[in-house]
Amino acid sequence: MVKLIGPKKLRTSVFISGRGSNFKNLLKFSLKKNFPIKIICVVSNNLNAKGLNIATKYKIKKKIYKSEYEILNYLNKNKIELICLAGFMKILSKNFIRNFKGKIINIHPSLLPKYKGLNTHQRVLDNKEKISGCTVHIVSPKLDSGKIILQKTVRISKKDNHRSLAKKILKQEHILYPKAIKKLLINL
């Protein structure tokens, strides 16, 4: 894994498909002097992703994902060293992951290895779990299965529905993702 030496910030691309609250949060952190990434561009496979408005507002380059080949070229041209997936709803190929080995990370709203995939919160509630949470992990070719960097647990109350649980977990995601990036890059 690339280790940060001195004050250098890793050139980073964030991949989104929707709202982009994690993107916005990472952007906020990345503007701090001692945070080890600089967000160069945002990639979205959805032209209507709300998160793209955040990119416009903060003058971050935007790229619409049409083909993997095109995106790989774009990332190479922009000298991207780290990719942060943040609600990116497309599965990346083995070839793509190989090209950025150990340098693609993802946030997932469950305590992996439990509840990989979609509709996490409803499945957690249906199984009457008492806790859930979120996980930041390195992306490997198997969905939601790479090495875990950090996790955060959230208690589920009897009153929770999938919306309230998603909200509680999202709040923790916004703390966990920057913390995991720091852990990965500066071994804090």
Instruction: Confirm or reject binding of residue 81 to ligand GRF (CB under 6 A).
Output: no
**Cα 42 from Cα 14, distance rounded (Å):** 5
* Helix or strand holding residue 133 (H, E): strand 131-138
Position among 13, 21, 44, 132 found at the interface with ligand GRF (CB under 6 A): 21
For 131, counting Cβ atoms within 10 Å of its Cβ (0-12 exposed, 13-18 middle, 19+ buried), the class is exposed
Q: How far is CA 159 from the centre of its chain?
A: 28
Instruction: Confirm or reject binding of residue 87 to ligand GRF (CB under 6 A).
Output: yes
Kindly name the residue from 108, 121, 137, 174 that is annotated as catalytic. 108
Residue nearest to ligand GRF (CB): 87
30-59 binders of ligand GRF (CB under 6 A): 51
Which pair of structure tokens corresponds to residue 69?
């080949």
Are the CB atoms for 8 and 35 separated by under 8 Å?
no
Q: Least separation, in Å, of the C-beta of 100 and ligand GRF?
A: 18
152-171 binders of ligand GRF (CB under 6 A): 170
Instruction: Confirm or reject binding of residue 19 to ligand GRF (CB under 6 A).
Output: yes
Nearest by Cα to 91 from 40, 149, 139, 24? 139
Q: Least separation, in Å, of the C-beta of 90 and ligand GRF?
A: 12
Position among 39, 52, 107, 176 found at the interface with ligand GRF (CB under 6 A): 107
Assign 3-state DSSP to the chain and report helix, strand, coil percentages, each to 5: 35, 25, 40
Which pair of structure tokens corresponds to residue 116?
């990989």
Instruction: Confirm or reject binding of residue 108 to ligand GRF (CB under 6 A).
Output: yes
Instruction: Confirm or reject binding of residue 109 to ligand GRF (CB under 6 A).
Output: yes
How many chain residues bind ligand GRF (CB under 6 A)? Answer: 15
Instruction: Confirm or reject binding of residue 20 to ligand GRF (CB under 6 A).
Output: yes
Please confirm, yes or no, whether 108 is among the known catalytic residues: yes
**Cα 87 from Cα 134, distance rounded (Å):** 13
Sites of contact with ligand GRF (CB under 6 A)? 16, 18-23, 51, 86-87, 107-109, 170, 173
